[in-house]
Structure 1
Amino acid sequence: MSKKKSRLKLAQEQAESAIKKTNDKISELGTHTSQLYNELNILQKLFDDIRNVPSEKRFEYEKLKKIRLNWKQQAEKIESDYKNAVAKNAGKGAAGVGAGIAVAALGPTAAMGIATTFGIASTGTAISTLSGAAATNAALAWLGGGALAAGGGGMAAGKAFLALAGPVGWAIGGVALVSSGLLLWKGKSDQNRLEEIFTLISKRDVKSYELAIVEINERISRIKDESQKLNCASERTRTFGLDYSLMTEAQQYELGSYVNLMNSSTQLLVNPIIGLQPKYDISDLKEYIAFSKKKFDDKQKSLIVSLSNLLYKINLDEKDKILLWKSFKRNKKFLSSIEMSKQDFEFSIIGTVTDALEHKYRLEKG
């Protein structure tokens, strides 16, 4: 007779199922972003062929071209980095522990879906305040459960824990890592409470995935609409001739409206899916530091951000905090992943995280 699954195990399985559904939707998104990108390039080429366009108008659509090129390069980098990391970690168990996109499936189209999901702005930084490199890491964490983003062989490799942020990392590898010490607990009530906390975390992340799927569906719908409009715009532009100065005022005005269309379409490529962004990021921590006047080194900052994502919107009393602290302190895999000794992992870290989260909640309420 098979052993009954624990609540935590069931919640983690739900998270894995939600991840798979989200993955399928991201792949579908990639198909549509690829089409949108092609339609934008067709219209852009038509604009490039037109002579005597006023410099300020040309500057506007040239800027959009650079944004799209940057997005395309980001997609190519994600694809390349992922395949390189998989090759590097072959046999180490790092690949495939994440969201379940097979290497063969991560072609240019799927990579475009990933690039849009995690978002980059014209400067190469993610609109969600992640840096360009961090956006790529977030994508790799999604694809490889954090292990690939950390560049190591599995979750226990140095800094693997710190590579995780938001629902992306936590439901995939984070909860498995930090809850791996549960079996070490002798007290049944403490073990049950810890399991309950990690179950709540998994369920919270499932909701994030479900909302992200709704958001991606809305994005796909808008992309389809914009792609059709771009196609019509290209057809119209072909009839205007190749000299801006010889066009009628109405045609010039129409071209201007197509630049606006290219702008809105480009934003659909580069704006991230909000539901898959970290719940707590470095900008939140900077606000907390300014408020509290506390000082942290880079490792502490990374740890606070990661733990804040883990515990976001999870209600904890003082007993829970002590329980979590002891659980982390006993967990060798966890300590290894944050490159911290048992002695250095002080209770004040948990206190800082909960304090930082309370500050964010207050700001969210306004």
Structure 2
Amino acid sequence: MLNKDYKEQAIRDLQKIDMEYSSVFKKAISDMSRLQNTRTMSIRTIQYVEQYVVRLANKPRNFETKIGEIKVRYIKFQQACKEIQELETKNRQTASANGFSLAGVLGGAGIATLGPTAAMSVAMTFGTASTGTAIASLSGAAATSAALAWLGGGAIATGGAGMAAGQAMVTLAGPVGWVIGGVSLAGSLLAINMSNKEIAEKTEKSIVTIKKEMERIREIDVQVLAWNEKTKKLSNGIMKQLNKIKSYRKIDCSMFSDDEMNELVILFNLTETLSKLIGNTIEGRR
């Protein structure tokens, strides 16, 4: 059969890159989940500092203002997480009551496999949907789909892969729709009524697209890993500094020595930095 070997080799190459892409994608999701957990734990660190500073007598006036600003930041983060969780739970319950499959509600079996925690982690990492709408303001499945679609290059309307599932993507716009939707790349191509040569050529083009997407996902993952490491290091440093200051057993700033007061100011500044760091998003990165 004409160009059969050409097609079969291209399909084998596609299957190989498909597996590699899936691995890169899943690693990025896993790292985002770890970042989300680190940020959640860091809020507890901030609250420990907050509790200590609030109890201090005769503290500088600007401390009260700064504490308020710090609190606003972490509460905003907590509320966004809570809203996504509540809406996701509500949508799942509604879907179950109406007899819909979870995969159908979320736009693909792959999303269902990720689970609500991972989906929320992606949403919080990206911050906004491809339309510019804050992901935290979207409801359940919409938030999940928006975040994951953007991770894969944006919604179909903006030229990305979007949430394709269950059908072959003739245009081969991008790989993430297949990965999320649980659709086999090779199977999709074989289902299209084309010649061996056409299938091979489109397969080769899709491989190039997938490689570009993998690099983009890897770049995102590098940023996520950096944020996670920086957040953990800063949070641990703050706890060490806080424990040191607490060991002085002083509850009145007027009793602090100049060195001790400087240490308190450093603690405060580090805590302010941490409160800003937990709100970093891919969208907000400059």
Q: TM-score, normalised by structure 1?
A: 0.55
Counterparts in 2 of 1:185 and 1:168: CA distance versus 1, 3 Å: closer
Tell me the equivalent position of 2:214: 206
Indicate conservation of the 8 Å contact 1:97/1:172, yes or no. Answer: no
Counterparts in 2 of 1:139 and 1:265: CA distance versus 1, 3 Å: farther
Counterparts in 2 of 1:62 and 1:99: CA distance versus 1, 3 Å: same
Task: Report SS of the residue matched to 1:97.
Answer: helix
Which sections of structure 1, spanning at least 5 residues, go unmatched? 120-125, 147-159, 280-366
TM-aligned CA deviation for residue 223 of structure 1: 2.2
Counterparts in 2 of 1:202 and 1:83: CA distance versus 1, 3 Å: farther
Match of 2:114 among 55, 77, 101: 101
Name the CA distance, whole Å, in 2 between partners of 1:140 and 1:37. 23
Match of 2:90 among 81, 84, 90: 84
Name the CA distance, whole Å, in 2 between partners of 1:129 and 1:53. 45
Greater RCO, CA 8 A, separation 6+: 2
Name the CA distance, whole Å, in 1 between partners of 2:163 and 2:269. 33
Aligned length, in residue pairs:
248
Indicate conservation of the 8 Å contact 1:33/1:113, yes or no. Answer: no
Indicate conservation of the 8 Å contact 2:39/2:278, yes or no. Answer: yes
Tell me the equivalent position of 1:35: 41
TM-aligned CA deviation for residue 253 of structure 1: 2.5
TM-aligned CA deviation for residue 197 of structure 1: 3.0
Indicate conservation of the 8 Å contact 1:118/1:135, yes or no. Answer: no
TM-aligned CA deviation for residue 38 of structure 1: 1.2
Name the CA distance, whole Å, in 1 between partners of 2:76 and 2:189. 42
Tell me the equivalent position of 2:244: 236
Name the CA distance, whole Å, in 2 between partners of 1:39 and 1:225. 12
Name the CA distance, whole Å, in 2 between partners of 1:216 and 1:224. 12
Match of 1:261 among 263, 267, 270: 270
Task: Report SS of the residue matched to 1:101.
Answer: helix
Question: Aligned pair 1:226/2:234, yes or no?
Answer: yes
Task: Report the residue type matching 1:172 in the other structure.
Answer: V
Task: Report SS of the residue matched to 2:85.
Answer: helix
TM-aligned CA deviation for residue 215 of structure 1: 2.8
Counterparts in 2 of 1:229 and 1:99: CA distance versus 1, 3 Å: farther
TM-aligned CA deviation for residue 46 of structure 1: 0.9
Q: TM-score, normalised by structure 2?
A: 0.68
Name the CA distance, whole Å, in 1 between partners of 2:52 and 2:119. 27
Counterparts in 2 of 1:70 and 1:111: CA distance versus 1, 3 Å: farther
Name the CA distance, whole Å, in 2 between partners of 1:214 and 1:60. 31
Name the CA distance, whole Å, in 1 between partners of 2:88 and 2:221. 23
Counterparts in 2 of 1:139 and 1:6: CA distance versus 1, 3 Å: farther
Counterparts in 2 of 1:134 and 1:7: CA distance versus 1, 3 Å: farther
Q: What pairs up with 1:308-327 in 2 under 5 angstroms?
A: none
TM-aligned CA deviation for residue 194 of structure 1: 3.5
Q: What pairs up with 1:1-366 in 2 under 5 angstroms?
A: 5=11, 7-89=13-95, 90-91=100-101, 93-94=103-104, 95=106, 96-98=109-111, 100-103=113-116, 106=117, 113-114=121-122, 116-119=124-127, 130-133=132-135, 140-141=144-145, 146=149, 161-162=156-157, 171-173=175-177, 183-184=191-192, 186=194, 189-238=197-246, 239=248, 241-272=250-281, 274=282
Task: Report the residue type matching 1:212 in the other structure.
Answer: I
Identity rate of aligned residues, in percent? 18
Tell me the equivalent position of 1:326: none
Name the CA distance, whole Å, in 2 between partners of 1:69 and 1:136. 18
Name the CA distance, whole Å, in 1 between partners of 2:35 and 2:161. 21
